[in-house]
Amino acid sequence: MTTAKSLDALIEKRSLAKLGGGQAKIDKIHDKGRHTARERIEMLLDEGSFEEFDMFKVHRCTNFGMEKKKFMGDGIVTGSGTIQGRLVYVHAGDFTVFGGSLSETMSEKICKVMDMAVKSGAPVIGLNDSGGARIQEGIESLSGYTNIFYRNVRASGVIPQLSGIFGPCAGGAVYSPALTDFTVMVRDSSYMFLTGPKVVKSVTHEDVDVETLGGASVHTTKSGVAHLAADDGEQGIKYLQDLFSYMPQNNMEKPPVKETDDPSDRVNSALDTLIPDNPNMAYDIKDVIYEVVDDQEFLEIQPDYAGNIVIGFARFGGQSVGIIANQPKVLAGVLDNDSSIKAARFVRCCDCFNIPLVTFVDVPGFMPGTVQEYGGIIRNGAKLMFAYAEATVPKITITTRKSYGGAHCVMSAKQLDGDLNYAWPTAEIAVMGGKGAIEILNARDVKGKEPEEAKAIMAKAEAEYNEAFANPYVAAGRGYVDDVIAPSETRLRIVRGLRALQDKHVSALPKKHGNIPL
Ligand code: HXC
């Protein structure tokens, strides 16, 4: 029989467990302007929805006198809850217990929620704050990490997995986030690295601080490891909620539909005059995106990394889409190594979670030169080609201006099983730009000519080339473009297209998996 005494004992144990490593450690976290694991979970989930598991679980380590240092729950808080009424599983590193370093029992707690998430077809969100492998546990900790990594990989493409980095994320702690779909970091208070500054110094003699080694700005501008940098913990949580809102519960479902009052047939008059007369002048592709999507809501992902391609989530008629767009404002929208990889991963993420792809094309080609070739532009461009060709979700493509050469083929071309390929009247779909083409075709015509005469011959040839090829009608005349549309009707055509394609089904050829050129 439950007695008042036993209930009191339970209440007491629970409140002790909730203190993790103790009030002094909690105070220290607050002094740094950061949140505890429980506070983060509270911010993330719908009020009162958190169901905690394994609150009383303790580590089993006896090395280094550890048997005398036990804290209920160990260094992780785990359980389930809801976000906007949708089920989600969570694990949040508790820095108050041995700096959130991973023990064998913590791994068991994380694996338990990951297994439950897969069984019930619900996403997992990890809120990371950890010093890496718990040094006292040695190999048990490494084994614990590997058990988590294995589950990250097994669950990849089955349930959405999101990671927030809210403090240190060192050593083994980095690989689980790296295996998930999206990673959000917090500026100035989170960092990710395999080896900390001291080890760096001893191995390479390099002096570096944590921020320069693996801060949010490094990983969202240079390495591409993280996808969004938040200004503080609250914004970090908000980014995770936003990402979650665009994704389905699992790969067998479609993303939730968000009601909108934004009319499907809203005319985008501003777009009719957006493209400059001079084809070498830039414009901002984000002006197009914000103009056509529902309610001007666009969650740009990796905004500060490889800015020559823009990726992110938006909705049309309430339905989630992934947007991929060349950005003429940065490097003229050229495709290079980083932008190819950035877009390829996003295309695959959308495809595995049934999120249609809307692609805006204005691309002068692939970036030439040794830097790109040595960096593997052939292999990396092939990644993007592979990702688009492999994607079976609805694919709608709008060519706003340039679509040249190999980059034309890569950017969701009709021949990669593009469903609806539209072009604005300003589109130039050809094997290369006029200037480059006539330099090859007309070199013989100007040999030995005076410079003025040569210039005139070239200018005439370029004008003829542009007239004949720098337009959408050659491609439309062959059916490679389904229609040439007025920019002002872009939103309507996309919404209609998505509706028409909502039951699209493609049977894949039987195979274990493809061999994407990693
Ligand atoms: C055990 C750890 C720990 C760890 C921190 N602590 N990291 N305990 N194992 N890995 C403990 C500290 O001893 C301290 O305990 C408490 O957590 C808080 O740590 P502080 O150092 O006081 O905090 P702070 O100054 O904020 O520094 C945080 C930190 C630093 C940057 C994370 O602790 C650190 O550098 N830790 C080691 C990071 C690291 O090299 N990890 C890699 C491990 S090897 P007390 O009792 O004093 O409060 C690894 C390889 C796995 O992960 C590979 C798998 C694939």
| Residue range 425-464, pLDDT digits in tens | 999 999 888 888 888 888 888 888 888 998 998 889 888 8
Atom of ligand 1 nearest to the CA of 173: 52
Atom of ligand 1 nearest to the CA of 130: 32
CA distance 126 to 86: 16
CA distance 260 to 254: 17
Active site residue 233: no
Q: How far is the CA of 237 from the centre of ligand 1 (A)?
A: 24
Structure tokens at 219: 């990983």
Q: How far is the CA of 224 from the centre of ligand 1 (A)?
A: 25
Residue 422 pLDDT greater than 80, yes or no: yes
Q: How far is the CA of 101 from the centre of ligand 1 (A)?
A: 6
Residue 413 pLDDT greater than 80, yes or no: yes
In the set 406, 433, 434, 497, the catalytic residue is 406
What's the rounded mean pLDDT across residues 461-484? 92
CA distance 330 to 90: 38
The model's pLDDT over 327-382, given as tens digits with 9 standing for 90+, comes to 999 999 999 999 999 999 999 999 999 999 999 999 999 999 999 999 999 999 99
Give the number of residues written for the chain.
518
In the set 117, 332, 407, 413, the catalytic residue is 407
Write down the residue that tokens 């036990």 correspond to: 70
The model's pLDDT over 154-211, given as tens digits with 9 standing for 90+, comes to 999 999 999 999 999 998 899 999 999 999 999 999 999 998 899 899 999 999 999 9
Range 465-492 burial, b when 16+ CB lie within 10 A, else e: bbeebbbbeebbeeebbbebbebbbbbb
- Of 97, 179, 195, the residue nearest 146 (C-alpha): 179
Mean pLDDT across the chain: 95
Active site residue 172: yes
Active site residue 171: yes
In the set 73, 93, 131, 171, the catalytic residue is 171
Among protein residues, the one with the nearest Cα to ligand 1's atom 22 is 99
Q: How far is the CA of 131 from the centre of ligand 1 (A)?
A: 4
Compute the radius of gyration of the chain from its Cα atoms.
Answer: 27
Q: What percent of the chain has pLDDT over 90?
A: 89
CB 138 within 8 A of CB 175: no
Q: How far is the CA of 239 from the centre of ligand 1 (A)?
A: 27
Q: How far is the CA of 135 from the centre of ligand 1 (A)?
A: 8
Structure tokens at 29: 């976290």
Among protein residues, the one with the nearest Cα to ligand 1's atom 15 is 98
What's the rounded mean pLDDT across residues 383-412? 97
Residue 71 pLDDT greater than 80, yes or no: yes
Q: What is the structure's pLDDT at 371?
A: 95
How, if at all, do strands 298-301 and 319-326 pair? unpaired
For ligand 1, mutation pick of 59, 135, 176, 209 (most atoms within 8 Å of CB): 135
Residue 1 pLDDT greater than 80, yes or no: no
Q: What percent of the chain has pLDDT over 70?
A: 100
In the set 100, 164, 172, 405, the catalytic residue is 172
For ligand 1, mutation pick of 68, 70, 94, 98 (most atoms within 8 Å of CB): 98
The model's pLDDT over 73-101, given as tens digits with 9 standing for 90+, comes to 999 999 999 999 999 999 999 999 999 99
Q: How far is the CA of 172 from the centre of ligand 1 (A)?
A: 11
Give the confidence band of 130 by pLDDT, cuts at 50, 70, 90.
very high
Q: How far is the CA of 329 from the centre of ligand 1 (A)?
A: 43
Q: What is the structure's pLDDT at 123?
A: 98
Among protein residues, the one with the nearest Cα to ligand 1's atom 23 is 99
Q: What is the structure's pLDDT at 447?
A: 86
Atom of ligand 1 nearest to the CA of 196: 40
Look at residue 52 and give its three-state secondary structure.
strand
Look at residue 376 and give its three-state secondary structure.
coil
Q: How far is the CA of 133 from the centre of ligand 1 (A)?
A: 8
CA distance 396 to 83: 30
Among protein residues, the one with the nearest Cα to ligand 1's atom 29 is 131
Helices (H), 206-250: 210-214, 216-221, 233-246
Its pTM stands at 0.95
For ligand 1, mutation pick of 101, 147, 175 (most atoms within 8 Å of CB): 101
Residue 467 pLDDT greater than 90, yes or no: no
Domains and CATH numbers, the chain: 10-246 (3.90.226.10), 269-432+471-500 (3.90.226.10), 434-469 (no CATH)
Exposed, middle or buried by CB within 10 Å (0-12, 13-18, 19+), for 277?
exposed
Atom of ligand 1 nearest to the CA of 171: 52
Active site residue 9: no
Q: What is the structure's pLDDT at 402?
A: 95
What's the rounded mean pLDDT across residues 126-138? 95
CA distance 319 to 350: 13
Atom of ligand 1 nearest to the CA of 170: 41
Helices first, then strands: H and E counts in the chain: 19, 16
What's the rounded mean pLDDT across residues 12-26? 97
| Residues in contact with 443: Cβ distance below 8 Å, sequence separation at least 6, in sequence order | none
What is the CB < 6 Å shell around ligand 1?
Answer: 98-99, 101, 131-136, 142, 145, 168, 170-172, 175, 196
Q: What is the structure's pLDDT at 448?
A: 85
